[in-house]
Amino acid sequence: MNPRPEVSLAERKRQLVSNELTEAALQLLARNGFDVVTIDEIAATAGVSRRTFFRYFASKEDVVVQFLTGMGADIRAELAARPAEERPSVALRHAIWVPIAACADHGDRALRVVQLILRTPALLARYLERQAQWRTDLAAELGGRLGLDLDTDLYPQLAVGMALSAFDAVLQRWSDSDGAEDPAGLTDRAFTVIAPALDVPGGGASGTSR
């Protein structure tokens, strides 16, 4: 018998449990506070044992780190998928919008998670640590897209830094307003500010916006 279908089924089951644990943890942490929620509570809410939790995560912080890793992967995937002729400001705006749109689509639940991360020092530190990896990965993607050498050209790192600063500004304003501000409008305003610097001559392709 071919074991591959069984392996695939096992992997799907593992991913399902991981997703349930992540959802339970993020919502409990956002609602009750990072320091208050216990791993036992997270496991019980997800319908698994404490031992099962530790098969997937080493700590409560690791749940949030996995969530952030997914956000970074989504940004890079969208940047890689953008048309080659697009201006850098347009491609980066679309890439940054992917996780912001996901947050906006989940409304109050996502807002509470964002507020949890931004307002909990331990989680904010992990977010900034993870974002440093995003910066490296996105600069490599942008440099390859534009045919630029990261060892000699400053543009990819600077451009990605500006885009991620815009991302941070949007999330911070959305969080501070308790969801009153429109994430789409905030993203448009942020990229209106940085687009002239992103699209400087020699900085990238000269395509048009969609």
pLDDT in tens, 126-159: 899 989 999 999 999 999 999 999 999 999 999 9
Tokens found for residue 45: 């809410």
Provide the residue type at 209 as one letter. S
pLDDT value, residue 207: 41
Please give the DSSP secondary-structure letter assigned to residue 89.
H
| pLDDT at residue 10, as a whole number | 75
Low-confidence stretches of the chain (pLDDT beneath 50): 1-5, 205-210
3-state helix, strand and coil shares in percent for the chain, rounded to the nearest 5 = 75, 0, 25
93 contacts 209 by C-beta, under 8 angstroms: no
* Cα angle 194, 199, 204; round to 5: 135
pLDDT at 1: 45
Query: Judging by beta carbons within 10 Å of its beta carbon (0-12, 13-18, 19+), is residue 86 exposed, middle or buried?
Result: buried
CATH number of 1-57: 1.10.10.60
Please state the domain extents for the chain.
1-57, 60-205
Q: How far is 175 from 93, CA to CA, in rounded Å?
A: 20
Does 1-57 match 60-205 in CATH topology?
no
Instruction: Determine the pLDDT at residue 203.
Output: 57
Q: How far from the centroid of its chain's Cα atoms is residue 84's Cα?
A: 23
First-to-last C-alpha distance (Å) of the chain: 50
Whole-angstrom Cα distance, residue 108 to residue 196? 33
Q: How high is the pLDDT of residue 132?
A: 93
Closest-CA residue to 28 (of 10, 9, 47, 42): 42
Q: Which CATH number, 3.30.300.30, 1.20.810.10, 3.30.450.40, 1.10.357.10, labels domain 60-205?
A: 1.10.357.10
The whole-model pTM stands at 0.81
